[in-house]
Amino acid sequence: MDRSVNIGKLGKKQLNWGKVFTLAGAFIAFLIGSGFATGQEVMQYFSSFGLLGAFGVIVVFLLFLYVGIEFMIAGYNNKFAKGSDIFYYYCGKRIGKFYDYFSVAFIYMSYIVMIGGSAATLNQQYGQPTWVGGVMMGILAGGTVIFGLGKIVDVIGKIGPTIVVLTVILGIFAIAMNPSGVANANEIIPQLDLLKASSNWFFSAVSYVGFCMLWLAGFMSQLGASSDNKNESILGTIIGAAGFSLALLIITLGIMANIEELSGSMVPNLVLANKVHPVLGTIFSLIVVAGIYTTAVPLLWQAVARFSEDKTPKFRILTVVFAAAGVFVGLLVPFDKLVNIIYVINGYVGIFLFVFMAYKTIRVRVLKKVEE
């Protein structure tokens, strides 16, 4: 029997579970950038708040469910020609235009953070000059972007789940090595000089979703627009949000359990991996670089795609220029400072986008009820 034909009274297609998990993997991999894979982002946004940071992860999961599904459905229903059209859909012409241009700037700045993360990882683990990791990531990301969005989804959709599994294993080991560290975290953390994303755990969690939204908006809405099955898109987003949030919770607790030892590290997860075994440290350094790569690629793609059409000569030239410029800037500022400045400031701008989304969602549903 041909499974591609419409079935049932609703005329919906048979679910393609391979596509569902590829979409989930793409969602996860896009969020696993240098901040998550290195542990620096996790430490600043969650672990530094002690046990309240774990509640912050729950807030993140619930918000990711909403924004991820909304972006996918909006893209699927409206078939946006460009990822930036999502901002006009939610915010109107004037404010949408602001978010359109601002998101491009932030997305490109986030690519720069990825460069800094790669540089810090190879420097901490192998003692290499920072330019080695930065230049390497710029070449890898730029080369992949030239192949186009379809290739990107294929690549990062398969790498993402692998990174999540290995990060979860690392977090479990970290907790097992010092289980009392989690219980004592609230007493130890106030004595440490830690960079924090906010003075409050709740606002830190909301800010985290805020900056991720500016990443996800264009990318997820384009995935939705290219999908031919809404249920696959929604289910992929749900699985992706759940998988990422679970990994985030475990690594948050793992860092929290060893927070005193990790407080001065640029790449906390590498310290944890080397603490388990030096060989694991080497392996995990490669995992971290892979995680950075899975986010750097779509970030760079979105920035370039805003100014040129995919797969054209202009697109390829701009990709090379943007990739190289990002490497130059990313090597000028320490990695932890890049995360703290760029992500935090832009996170609060993302919160206002969430407000516009919520208003649009309520308005659309109310109008639908009235029409019925």
Where residue 268 sits, what CATH number does that domain have? 1.20.1740.10
- Rounded Cα distance, 256 and 261, in Å: 10
Is residue 98 one of the residues assigned to a domain? Answer: yes
Global pTM?
0.82
In this model, does residue 255 exceed pLDDT 90?
yes
Buried b (16+ CB within 10 A) or exposed e, 159-178: bbbbbbebbbebbebbbeeb
Is residue 217 one of the residues assigned to a domain? Answer: yes
The CA–CA distances, whole Å, from 286 to 36, 267, 364 equal: 14, 13, 45
Q: Which domain holds residue 135?
A: 17-187+196-371
In this model, does residue 7 exceed pLDDT 60?
no
pLDDT grade for 107, boundaries at 50, 70 and 90: confident
Is residue 322 one of the residues assigned to a domain? Answer: yes
Closest to 197 measured CA to CA, from 67, 347, 362? 347
Tens of pLDDT along 139-152? 999 998 887 655 55
Quick check: helix, strand or coil at residue 7? strand
Please name the residues in contact with 87: beta carbons below 8 A apart, sequence gap of 6 or more.
95, 96, 97, 99, 100, 103, 217, 353
Is residue 8 one of the residues assigned to a domain? Answer: no
Pull the structure tokens for residue 91. 């915010």
Tens of pLDDT along 8-30? 343 456 788 888 888 888 788 77
Is residue 161 one of the residues assigned to a domain? Answer: yes
Is residue 3 one of the residues assigned to a domain? Answer: no
Can you tell me the mean pLDDT for 293-312? 85
Are residues 114 and 295 in contact, defined by beta-carbon separation less than 8 angstroms?
A: yes
The percentage of residues in the chain with a pLDDT greater than 90, rounded to a whole number, is: 41
pLDDT grade for 33, boundaries at 50, 70 and 90: low
pLDDT given at position 156 = 60
Please tell me what DSSP assigns to residue 189. Answer: G
Is residue 6 one of the residues assigned to a domain? Answer: no
What's the domain count of the chain? 1
Can you tell me the mean pLDDT for 182-208? 91
Tens of pLDDT along 42-58? 999 999 999 999 999 99
Is residue 56 one of the residues assigned to a domain? Answer: yes
pLDDT given at position 5 = 37
Are residues 15 and 231 in contact, defined by beta-carbon separation less than 8 angstroms?
A: yes
pLDDT given at position 52 = 94
